[in-house]
Amino acid sequence: MSLESVTKTFGPVRAVDDLTLAIPRGQTVALLGPNGAGKSTTIGVLLGLVPPDSGRVSLFGAGPEQAVRRGRVGAMPQEGGLIPRVTVRELVSFVAGTYAAPPPVDQTLELARISDLAGRRVDKLSGGQGQRVRFAMALAGGPDLVVLDEPTAALDVEARREFWQSMRGLASRGTTILFSTHYLEEADEQADRVVVVDRGRVVADGSSAEIKRVVALTTVSVTAQGEVQWLATLPGVRHLEVTGDRVHLRSGDPDATVMALAEAGAVRDLEVTPADLEDAFMALTSKETV
């Protein structure tokens, strides 16, 4: 699948700005960005729900509408009502019946981990159970690409764990997965690739480890007394914070910082904390990012 130089504006707001993105088959990709960054609009364009002002979208060699009709694409929107007064099995069966060659409904229910809910009425489900039914509906056509917009927003911790177990099973079959999330730990743990968008543009694209290594800063902490501001001049140090007798040095080159501390005889209770994806995300999407 690919988006090539896609732009979409809403009045004076350019929600997607000349965005290009290609995802090979079988990859699990997290789409991250702050509110208003253009994630949902990008997903809407990808699914054919939002027409781009310019650019091109290709899914399996066809346009998004054609790919969706063929059952090649399944989507789970962040919000959306479910038909009441029908059972889960009836609803999933109805959706599957709109496709030419869907997998067996029991297989879809099992993959979504809702076999135990098959006979329950949809309007009697909890919010988290309803979210899992939406996931089953996205799988009903046996898609090659699954697009998920904030898929675990209504789920508790246990349900989120089960959901990602299902996702890993789906990915192991070669299904391409694109998901947006505000849970950065999910992107860190579950995605093969992380794409960060801000103001409608891609500002970072790579594995979680690559993005953290290139963008974010490692924290080097030591115990120190007396004057400590000189530590801010050590190699690699970008920022210094003091908490009690602990000095926290934010460094772009932690190896050089630690070596300089050792040479200065200032290594006491040394602790090195690698940056996490949240650190990288904040660095990439701050107002200073260009």
- Give the closest residue to 31 by CA, choosing from 167, 181, 164: 181
> Phi, psi (5° rounding) for residue 77?
-70, 160
Element (H, E) at 123: none
Give the DSSP letter of residue 102: P
CATH, domain range 217-274: 3.30.70
List 219's β-bridge partners, or say none. Answer: 250, 273
Statement: residue 184 has pLDDT above 50: yes
Crossing angle of helices 88-96/127-139, nearest 10°? 30
Mean pLDDT of 93-103: 94
Q: Any idea which fold 2-212 has? A: Rossmann fold (3.40.50)
Residue 90 in tokens: 């009836």
DSSP 62: B
pLDDT band at 220 (very low <50, low <70, confident <90, very high): very high
pLDDT at position 122, please?
94
Tens digits of residue pLDDT in 36-87: 999 999 999 999 999 999 999 999 999 999 998 889 999 998 777 788 899 9
Kindly list the distances between the CA atom of residue 157 and the CA atoms of 34, 125, 134, 164, 195, in Å, as whole numbers in the listed order.
23, 18, 18, 11, 24
Whole-number Å distance between alpha carbons of 54 and 240? 46
**28: number of CA atoms within 13 Å, CB side?**
19
Stated pTM of the model? 0.81
pLDDT at 287: 52
Q: Are strands 73-76 and 145-149 parallel, antiparallel or unpaired?
A: parallel
| pLDDT at position 289 over 70 | no
Helix (H, G, I), strand (E, B) or coil at 245: coil
Q: Which two tokens stand for residue 228?
A: 């400590």
Task: Specify the domain boundaries for CATH 3.40.50.300 within the chain.
Answer: 2-212
What is the predicted pLDDT for the residue at 66?
Answer: 92
Tens of pLDDT, residues 35-50: 899 999 999 999 999 9
Strand partners, 180: 31, 149
- Residue 73 near residue 138 (C-beta atoms within 8 A): no
Residue 207 has pLDDT above 80, yes or no: yes
Structure tokens at 4: 């090539």
Q: Where in the chain is the domain with CATH 3.30.70?
A: 217-274
